[in-house]
Amino acid sequence: MILIRIYMVHQIRYLVLGLLLCTVGYFSYRTYLYYFNTVAPDVTVVGVQDNAYYAGQIKGVVKGSSPYKVANLSILLDDKVVQENIPIHKKKFEYPISLDTQDIIDGKHSITFAVTDSSKNQNKTCLQKSLGIDNQSLQATIVSHDQDHKVLQGRCLRVQFQTNKPTASATVQTLHSKYNCFPKSPNSLVYEAIVPLDCEQAAQEYPFSIDIKDYVGNSVLLEDKFQVVGVPFKKKILHVQNNKLKSELEFTSLQERDLEQALEKISQNSVKQKLWTGAFDVPLLMTGTSTEFGVIRTSQERGRTVHRAVDLVAEPRAVVWAAQNGIVVLKDRYTHSGNTVVLDHGHGVVSMYFHLHDFADIEVGQKVKKGNPLGRMGMTGFANGHHLHWEIRVNNLAVDPMQWTQLS
């Protein structure tokens, strides 16, 4: 019995000693952290996303931790204090926040969450997020879309509308397709969409709608109609030397299908920026037109085809230049189009230049301005004489290029 008591006394002593050592170690570690900790607090915010837009109340939770202890939290809007030195006094914390945006001017702002620990060094972490405030109701109206809502076959319907504030997205839906809208000019509240019409589109009335959304989810739907007007396209018989396509194989193995595959990718990857300004130029000093847009041509080699471009004539080997600002996205030789250059003007609008005699000093990926040389007019490819085949496509649908020389 005595031995048991002695054993228990020793166990209690060891336990007390262990607790004492742990307590001393804990306070020693805490003292060390107080004087020597240089690790800034860890901070995250739930419910407030960077570069997001908000209306009404912004609700979220600030979460943080520190190796020593968090002293306080401050919240700043555009570097102005909203709440200062909110006491925390914990190693880990979660603090709910609620911010009324009705008192904040609509537009871009920054919100900062500053967390300071309780150490002697007062280590501090500032987490900043950009956000937009949008409490204004969305309003929009159609301002124009071509005179009397009538568009010729093979041309483009230009839909324009105006809003009371910047939009997050807008699409025009018609002809079983959707077309993205974009600002008419930088920072403009007038938006537009280009709807290409095939030269064989049935001449009749069609409805269209515009679905507009702002940055906080509000939407407006506008609806209207337009009329496609028929065009009596001419007919023509094309005579080309029988061996013209075969002779091109000496210079290239790329066929028409290869170009069409490339153009499909170019259309899909077109930059989401309007690179053009104002009307397009006729891309050379033309002396006439050998084949107009939409002409129905018949040839021994290709059968019946619709000419979805304009063939321009000028002095042999005349300089051909960029019709508008753009990016060179293709420079190659094909059996049917010969030496070919394609420019991307943004938002699915591309211009194409066929049958060039040779190329100017340009490379794929290079930005060019309206008037920059692309090459010289020639008759490479499936051509029966010196001319420039000039084509414009919108979302990979060929439209009348001459309309683009009149668009402002």
Whole-number pLDDT of residue 393? 98
Whole-number pLDDT of residue 247? 75
Residue 378 DSSP one-character state: B
Whole-number pLDDT of residue 24? 47
Which amino acid makes up residue 358?
D
Residue 386: CB atoms within 10 A of its CB come to 18
If DSSP codes are grouped into helix, strand and coil, which group holds residue 30?
helix
Whole-number pLDDT of residue 34? 74
Q: What is the distance between the alpha carbons of residues 36 and 303, in angstroms, rounded to a whole number?
A: 87
| Closest among 231, 236, 234 to 199, alpha carbons compared | 231
Q: What is the distance between the alpha carbons of residues 228 and 206, in angstroms, rounded to a whole number?
A: 8
What is the DSSP secondary-structure string of 313-330? E-STT-EEE-SSSEEEEE
| Predicted TM-score (pTM) of this structure | 0.83
Contact 284, 321 (CB under 8 A): yes
Q: Distance between alpha carbon 182 and the CA centroid of its chain, in Å?
A: 10
For residue 398, give the H/E element and its range. strand 397-399
For residue 404, give the H/E element and its range. helix 401-404
Instruction: Name all domains of the chain by residue range, CATH numbers in brackets.
Output: 42-133 (2.60.40.770), 140-229 (2.60.40.10), 235-404 (2.70.70.10)
Per DSSP bridges, beta strands 326-334 and 338-344 are antiparallel
Instruction: Please give the backbone phi and psi of residue 204, each rounded to the nearest 5 degrees, phi first.
Output: -165, -175
| Closest among 143, 144, 192 to 167, alpha carbons compared | 192
Q: Distance between alpha carbon 355 and the CA centroid of its chain, in Å?
A: 32
| Closest among 302, 374, 361 to 335, alpha carbons compared | 302
Could you list the pLDDT tens digit for every one of the 408 residues in the chain? Answer: 665 666 565 566 656 555 654 554 555 556 766 787 888 999 999 999 999 999 999 999 999 999 889 999 999 999 999 999 999 999 999 999 999 999 899 999 999 999 999 888 899 999 999 999 999 999 999 997 666 679 999 999 999 999 999 999 999 999 999 999 999 999 999 999 999 999 999 999 999 999 999 999 999 999 999 999 999 988 877 665 556 667 777 788 888 899 999 999 999 999 999 999 999 999 999 999 999 999 987 766 666 778 899 999 999 999 999 999 999 999 999 999 999 999 999 999 999 999 999 999 999 999 999 999 999 999 999 888 899 999 999 999 999 999 999 865
Whole-number pLDDT of residue 213? 98
Token pair of 356 as six digits: 């060039």
User: N- to C-terminal Cα distance for the chain?
Assistant: 109
